[in-house]
Amino acid sequence: MNRFEKHHSHIELGGKMKRSWLLHLFITLSVGLVAIGQADAVTTGQITVCSDCHGTNPQTNQSPIEGSVRNTPARAVIGSHSYHVTTQALTCADCHVVPTTLNHRDGNINMASPMHNGVTYSAATGGVVVQDNQLNTTGLGTCSGGTSGCHTSGASPVWGTISNCQTCHAYPPVSHVGTGATVNTNATFVSAHSGCQTCHGTQSTTGLGTGNTHDPYATYNVATLHSNGNITMNGPVGTGTGYDSSIRGCTAACHASTAPYRMTASGKTVDYFAGPSGGDCISCHTIAQTSPVAQSLSASVTSRIAIVPSFSLASKHIRSRGTAVTKEDCCVCHMEGDVSTGSANATYHKNGYIELRDPDTGATIKGVTHNGSTSTAGAYTSTGTDARPVRFSRNLGNATIEADTAAIMINQCLKCHDADGALSTSARVAGGSALKPFAGTVAANPSGGVLNVAAQFASTNKSFHPVLVRQNSGYTNTGGSRMVAPWNGVTKTATTTTYGPLISCWDCHAPNGSTSATILTSSGIHGGAVSSTDAVPLRGNVYVNGTTASTNLCVACHVVSGGTSNHGTGSAITSSTNSSMTYFQNRCYFCHGSYGTRASVARPMGAGDAHGFNTRATGAAFPAVNNGYAFLRNEGWYANGYTQSIRSIGSTTYTPTCGGMGSGGGCSRSSMGGYTPGGVY
């Protein structure tokens, strides 16, 4: 800092120096010398307006240029002028003596007396701050006091440093812990509220007070309602969350106010604004919610999980629409709300149960039973009783599917993901249709609508997993050695048609790495993380090499023990066809997927590869007579004359062979040779 700048580059407020031609000459020369140091060029000129020194005009309430250090950029000062003028709508005169002439430079910064609302600045003495060209915030002061506004609760941050909502309020404010028979703590308060906007009009953009800008509700005016010394509440009674100042609590939102929820008395005036209802799906279920009614039905259910964050994950419902989840979206699947308005339905909401909507009838889903056994494939049929669990649960270590889990899968998931989609208008948002209940188009799916997953599990398919009916493939668990627990309870032989257990959607669609010891209490249907090339949450990958359940979905259930040349004792391929075929051990997709490639196949082809299919990946029919069984679908084989014959289908027997694996085939190895696959269906 040179001595000319120290004395003349920043003409401050106040002072009564007399104007003279010597003063003008001195100022002109000073500005020129300063310019030499800053721009390596001589510029001289008479100071005629405020902006010649300030860069702006305080007389018209323009805040000075600001920077993190003095004079960067040119003529910048350190401070928080812009925030107070732009955001808080203050004028320069609220804090300073604004001169009317240019002869005020006397080395002092003159503060208004009194400052706005009676606020005091700690660095001022007798209304004056000695101007010393601060190059950082050292020595700058704080503001405090006043009759109303931001500084009544304590000293501000040092002038020129960044503050946030927690600087003044903390999160939550200490007054929010409540008083009464059961006193809220900070932790319990935070766990039950999605942010300040539920009850107030504004909050930090981070939601928890750690941001330094506001994120106001649409009808809330920050300039007039924030920092005016009053408390702005969403209300009064009968409006929004319905704050009642007489009891210092809300009468709507997620609870009717009782003693445990009341705030500490502050003595401040309450301003009301018509804010959000606070009781809709989004504002309440952004965070975990306590569930005392549900807990009275099941002691372990003490809270409801945060639902809304799931919709920001990689895989989620309504993904194709490209917009955030809405309260109407929730009502497509949940009886707790009405899809036309998104408002809560008093009959179902907060009754302790999860009541899901049948997409075809629009009513609560019904329970189901299955009549299959080890000697028959069986089928699911609906009962006349509503299925309404207190909490979803699937034990991945138990082959018996929970009754409510089966009902959700059959009467909700697969009734929507079928050929006719959501038939009921109660299960569609405005603008939606049967195959597009969320009014979004899934470009990767046929007709842009929901995928017909139910058809992929049909018992008439050549290959299918046992979701709707039991399976009887003879080599699935020969001698009890081909499946892992809990799916190894039924022992088969190569010549019998014994039927094994059913599985559920969540035995595959669970978080990556889930083991048989996992008990799912969240279905993941709202949204979930994905791993590697997968498009949806899965226990393991499909199109990635791996020998563990977390890296290979298939080995979560199936035993692969034959090393690099075969699948092991009791399997349909036990002969050593080639000692270097490592894909027998770690690349299930190489033979059992549509194409022998590590790249995830285009959607929705991968769904058929895993669920089931009745045609080749191209849509063409399989070669006669019995190809396509055992999930052998690799297009490279069929395009090169591949043949697959199993032992028998029902009472019809065949000569089991597997050939056509020459150059250009599925494995592209002329040394592969044929083998005897066997298999009974």
User: 610 lies in a domain?
Assistant: no
Q: What is the mean pLDDT of residues 675-679?
A: 72
CA distances from residue 9 to 21, 69, 95 in whole angstroms, order as listed:
18, 15, 22
Q: Looking at the structure, tell me whether residues 17 and 153 fall in a common domain.
A: yes
Strands 270-273 and 231-234, how do they pair?
Answer: parallel
pLDDT at 29 over 70: no
Q: Looking at the structure, tell me whether residues 118 and 180 fall in a common domain.
A: no
Q: What is the mean pLDDT of residues 484-496?
A: 88
How many CB atoms are located within 10 Å of the residue 315 CB? 18
Distance in angstroms (rounded) separating the CA atoms of residues 678 and 567: 13
Q: Looking at the structure, tell me whether residues 16 and 144 fall in a common domain.
A: yes
pLDDT of amino acid 439: 93
Q: Which of 233, 264, 279 is the last residue of a domain?
A: 279
3-state helix, strand, coil in the chain (%, to 5): 20, 15, 65
Q: Which of 162, 184, 218 is the last residue of a domain?
A: 162
Q: Looking at the structure, tell me whether residues 121 and 227 fall in a common domain.
A: no
User: 541 lies in a domain?
Assistant: no
Percent of the chain with pLDDT over 90: 32
pLDDT of amino acid 497: 82
Q: Sign of torsion, CA 185 187 193 198?
A: positive
Q: What are phi and psi of 654, to 5 degrees?
A: -135, 170
pLDDT at 468 over 90: yes
pLDDT of amino acid 264: 76
Q: Give the domain extent around 255.
A: 164-279
Distance in angstroms (rounded) separating the CA atoms of residues 372 and 573: 29
For the ranges 129-133, 145-149, 357-361, 607-611, the maximum mean pLDDT occurs at 357-361
Distance in angstroms (rounded) separating the CA atoms of residues 84 and 115: 13
pLDDT of amino acid 10: 37
Q: Looking at the structure, tell me whether residues 154 and 171 fall in a common domain.
A: no
Distance in angstroms (rounded) separating the CA atoms of residues 327 and 312: 15
Q: What is the mean pLDDT of residues 462-471?
A: 96
Question: Considering only 200-214, 564-578, 650-664, which range has the smallest mean pLDDT?
Answer: 650-664
Q: Looking at the structure, tell me whether residues 120 and 261 fall in a common domain.
A: no
User: 49 lies in a domain?
Assistant: yes
Distance in angstroms (rounded) separating the CA atoms of residues 90 and 83: 9
pLDDT digits (tens, 9 = 90+) for 181-215: 555 666 667 666 667 877 888 888 777 788 878 88
Q: Looking at the structure, tell me whether residues 122 and 213 fall in a common domain.
A: no
Look over the chain and give the mean of its residue pLDDT values, rounded to a whole number. Answer: 82
User: 170 lies in a domain?
Assistant: yes
Centroid of chain to Cα 540: 21
pLDDT of amino acid 328: 93
User: 179 lies in a domain?
Assistant: yes
Q: Looking at the structure, tell me whether residues 153 and 178 fall in a common domain.
A: no
- Residue 675: which pLDDT band, with cuts at 50, 70 and 90? low
pLDDT at 73 over 90: no
pLDDT of amino acid 41: 41
SS3 annotation, 315-378: EECCHHHCCCCCHHHHHHHECCECCCCCCECCCCCCCCCCCEECCCCCCECEEEEECCECCECC
Q: What is the mean pLDDT of residues 455-471?
A: 96
For the ranges 274-283, 394-403, 472-481, the maximum mean pLDDT occurs at 394-403
**DSSP state letter for 85:** I
The closest of 157, 23, 148 to 80, measured between CA atoms, is 157
Q: Looking at the structure, tell me whether residues 128 and 9 fall in a common domain.
A: yes
CA distances from residue 45 to 28, 35, 56 in whole angstroms, order as listed:
6, 11, 17
User: 342 lies in a domain?
Assistant: no
Distance in angstroms (rounded) separating the CA atoms of residues 609 and 621: 15
Q: Which residues make beta-bridge pairs with 380? A: 370
Q: Looking at the structure, tell me whether residues 103 and 16 fall in a common domain.
A: yes
Distance in angstroms (rounded) separating the CA atoms of residues 639 and 617: 11
Q: Sign of torsion, CA 300 304 306 308?
A: positive
Quick check: 324 and 526 in contact, CB under 8 A? no
pLDDT of amino acid 613: 96
User: 325 lies in a domain?
Assistant: no
User: 604 lies in a domain?
Assistant: no
Centroid of chain to Cα 290: 20
Quick check: 177 and 184 in contact, CB under 8 A? yes
Quick check: 677 and 572 in contact, CB under 8 A? yes
Q: Which residue in the block uniquely carries the two structure tokens 């975990």?
A: 288
The total domain count for the chain is: 2
The closest of 622, 538, 407, 169 to 631, measured between CA atoms, is 622
Distance in angstroms (rounded) separating the CA atoms of residues 633 and 616: 6
pLDDT at 393 over 70: yes
Q: Looking at the structure, tell me whether residues 231 and 263 fall in a common domain.
A: yes
Distance in angstroms (rounded) separating the CA atoms of residues 579 and 672: 10
Q: Which of 113, 143, 162 is the last residue of a domain?
A: 162
pLDDT digits (tens, 9 = 90+) for 89-111: 889 999 999 888 888 888 899 99
**DSSP state letter for 483:** B
- Residue 610: which pLDDT band, with cuts at 50, 70 and 90? very high
- Longest CA–CA span in the chain (Å) reads 118
Q: Looking at the structure, tell me whether residues 170 and 27 fall in a common domain.
A: no
Distance in angstroms (rounded) separating the CA atoms of residues 195 and 209: 9
Q: Using CB atoms within 10 A of its CB, is residue 644 exposed (0-12), middle (13-18) or buried (19+)?
A: buried
Length of the chain: 681
Distance in angstroms (rounded) separating the CA atoms of residues 442 and 607: 14
